[in-house]
Amino acid sequence: ADMFANEEGGPEPDWVITEREQFSDFRDLNKDGKMDKEEIRHWILPQDYDHALAEARHLVYESDVDKDQKLTKEEVLDNWNMFVGSQATNYGEDLTRNHDEL
């Protein structure tokens, strides 16, 4: 109700319709109308999804200004806040260590 109060007979916003479809098509695997422990685990930690690789690709995509698939020291420094807030850099801790590749 904090995000959407369904009024009697009123139309649902597009995002609610999309979320319902996502739930029925991908989240509620056993089609019982609710998510059990295994379905929640699959949703939060899907086995076919590499979180570290996805985060690394995101950091390169967002920071690689010249789109050469390589990050320069300047590109990293220009986007330091993204790297410091990333799990891929252990929330910035790895940036304080001596790295030749940086």
What is the DSSP secondary-structure string of the chain? --S----TTPPPPHHHHHHHHHIIIII-TT-SSS--HHHHHHHHS-TT--HHHHHHHHHHHHH-TT-SS---HHHHHHTHHHHHT-GGGTTTGGGGS--TT-
Do 35 and 60 belong to one domain? no
- pLDDT category, 45, cuts 50, 70, 90? confident
Do 55 and 79 belong to one domain? yes
**Number of domains making up the chain:** 2
Q: Is residue 78 domain-resident? A: yes
Q: Is residue 73 domain-resident? A: yes
- Residue 54: the pLDDT is 85
Do 88 and 58 belong to one domain? yes
Do 55 and 83 belong to one domain? yes
- pLDDT category, 60, cuts 50, 70, 90? very high
Do 56 and 88 belong to one domain? yes
- Residue 85: the pLDDT is 76
Q: Is residue 101 domain-resident? A: no
Parent domain of 24: 12-42
For the chain, what is the mean pLDDT?
84
> What's the predicted TM-score (pTM) here?
0.44
